[in-house]
Amino acid sequence: MPRAYATQPYPPGLRMSLSCYLCKRDNSQHWQLRMMVPKALRPAIGRREFTRSLGVTDKKQAEALAYPILGQWKATIAAASTPSVAATLPESSTSYVPSSRELEEVAVTVGYEEAGRRVSDLIRSKARVSEDAYRALAPEFQRRHTNALRCFHAEDHTYWEAVARRAASSRGWCLPDDSLEFRSFVESLAKCGIELFASAQAKVEGRADDFRPSAYVRNAIERRGERLPKGEGLLEMFDKYRTQRLSEGRKKADTLNQDRKVIELLSDYVGENRSIDSLKKSELREWRNAVAALPSAYKKRAAYEGLSIQQAVEKAHQTNERGISLITVNKYLSAVSALYIWALREGYVNENPCTGLFYDADKRKNSRPPFSADQLNTILRSPLFVGFVGPKEEHKVGQCRADDWRYWLPLICLFTGARIGEVAQIRLSDVRFEDGEWYFLIANDDEAGLSTKNKQSRIAPMHSLLRSIGFLEFVDRQKRGANPQKDNPLFPDLVRNDRGQAGLPSRFWRDYLKRIGIKNGPDGFGSHSFRHGLADQLRQSGCFDNEVAVAIGHKQTSVTSGYGRTRQGSAMKLNQMIESAKFQGVDFSGLIANARVFEGDS
């Protein structure tokens, strides 16, 4: 049944430019609606941003759906802005967890500046009482300064814990006493208390002009003064960067969407109100170190749901979980650095604070090892290829057989060396015959939502072994069930995710290898091992690396590669190279027998 779309005009007084809220997901062709929640209302509303996938590709339909949703969001914000309504919100709506920078700045405000004004009032009052009353202040402030130091080193923060609770409550913060943020806030307040009494003593002794607070206090005050007007914070600046890079065609929408998540991670850590030119290298270094301690995909795990970066890092330490790889940390830094390189060019900043912060991590040390002949034989004799129990139990021996992507996709990777994502997007029309040779077209076509890593289409010859195990017959079976009026995918069961990618095969294959005993932890084995294996097979047959690169689709960076437009290698030439891969020691007899079974079933 077709979806009914709202067509009524937007409520009077709430009409707005939808371009500020609609974001096109280019790869999946779906529109998404997003609206930031004002910072002051986030504790009450319980989120920093409203988001919703509209599930449509047509812009007019997206706009029709967007208006009532935006109206609801606006009404929620308006209700939270009304004191009488906000006062009735449940306590659970207080869910905002401040960043470490925000905690430091508020600690300085409460424990140093506001307390300092009260101290100044006290000094003025005593000075008016008598000379003796004023003279007694200096030793009293010295005593309190010494006591503040003692309590700090003794980790006795009883007084400041009470102050922290009141400050958190008045700001609507979610700051449980046993949280890392609460302890950090209390410690920051204690540091400010030490500075407070040192400053007070200097003032009554006539040394106020010479007194210089600690770097901790100075930096917090300086950061607060470096905030820019609304629209020029980190996230707002990234959105300007995103718009320009898209219009220039320099980056894909999906890449920029992933980069924005990194900038959000940075913004959550340093404070949402920070301007792009206020961040120092030391802050980027601290963020990098915190990110390195985060477990992989921690936000998707129930145990880490709702935790800030600091809380997630502490939990990972407590459970002794491994942090993400340094190569992944460098990828995060690259996203931040790219923003700063653009901002430097545009004149928003004077330097890139990411310079020099990248880990000296060699990608080659995290390489994907090829499968050995013995490992390939283990794979080809495993349940998926000889008979399994059923869905989600492909690793258990049974009577079921898979004549779909689970079976054929890894075999195509084995014989072509193509990336698993490239194979997942192959269409029936991409299986072609030219100059007497069968091959795959690995297409890069933005309009069709097809992409390759080097943004270039190429051909991948079809090894005769792949044909001998019944692949062309599988293609015929797929064509019989396909709509002749459409450009049908080879694997129609594979549905793309929000990023326009088929992530299921990679996850499935990684888990399957673990279950049959091929993969053990982060050992590098996975679908990419087929690609590395074919590269080794070609080298063993006498191919040079530049020839291997053309065969498996590596980007060419030589001077010659920049001349002309004709693609390298005809189907015939590339087929000769692929056929030189002999797969010595690998037994394909079981696959050949399967071909007869599949053909009989059809």
Task: Answer whether residue 561 is part of any domain.
Answer: no
- Give residue 568's pLDDT: 59
Lowest mean pLDDT among 90-99, 101-110, 119-128, 429-438: 90-99
- Give residue 592's pLDDT: 87
Q: Is the pLDDT of residue 495 over 70?
A: yes
| Co-location of 87 and 108 in the same domain | no
Please state, in angstroms and rounded to a whole number, the distance separating the CA atoms of residues 37 and 433.
Answer: 55
| Co-location of 353 and 410 in the same domain | no
Task: Answer whether residue 560 is part of any domain.
Answer: no
- Give residue 86's pLDDT: 44
- Give residue 548's pLDDT: 84
| Co-location of 336 and 268 in the same domain | yes
Q: Is the pLDDT of residue 544 over 60?
A: yes
Total domain count, the chain: 4
- Give residue 93's pLDDT: 40
Q: What is the CATH number of the domain that holds 373?
A: 1.10.443.10
Q: Is residue 9 very low, low, confident or very high in pLDDT (cuts 50, 70, 90)?
A: very low
User: Which residues, in sequence order, are CB contacts of 42 under 8 Å at separation 6+?
Assistant: 48, 96
- Give residue 337's pLDDT: 95
Across all residues in the chain, what is the average pLDDT? 82
Task: Answer whether residue 110 is part of any domain.
Answer: yes
- Give residue 2's pLDDT: 35
Q: Is the pLDDT of residue 12 over 80?
A: no
- Side by side, which strands form the sheet with 22-25? 22-25, 30-36, 49-53
Q: Is the pLDDT of residue 590 over 50?
A: yes
- Side by side, which strands form the sheet with 437-442? 431-434, 437-442, 458-461
Span 22-81, pLDDT tens digits? 776 545 567 778 887 776 676 666 667 777 777 777 777 777 778 777 777 777 777 666
- Identify the domain boundary among 180, 206, 225: 225
Please state, in angstroms and rounded to a whole number, the distance separating the CA atoms of residues 149 and 313.
Answer: 29
Please state, in angstroms and rounded to a whole number, the distance separating the CA atoms of residues 314 and 23.
Answer: 35
- Identify the domain boundary among 176, 201, 225: 225
- Give residue 14's pLDDT: 36
Can you give the residue range of the structural domain that contains 180? 100-225
The DSSP-derived string for 149-195 is HHHHHTT--HHHHHHHHHHHHHTTB---TTSHHHHHHHHHHHHHHHH
Mean pLDDT of all residues in 443-450: 82
- Give residue 84's pLDDT: 46
φ, ψ for residue 397, nearest 5 deg: -65, 130
| Co-location of 79 and 195 in the same domain | no
- Give residue 553's pLDDT: 75
- Give residue 24's pLDDT: 62
| Co-location of 26 and 63 in the same domain | yes
More confident residue, 225 or 354: 354
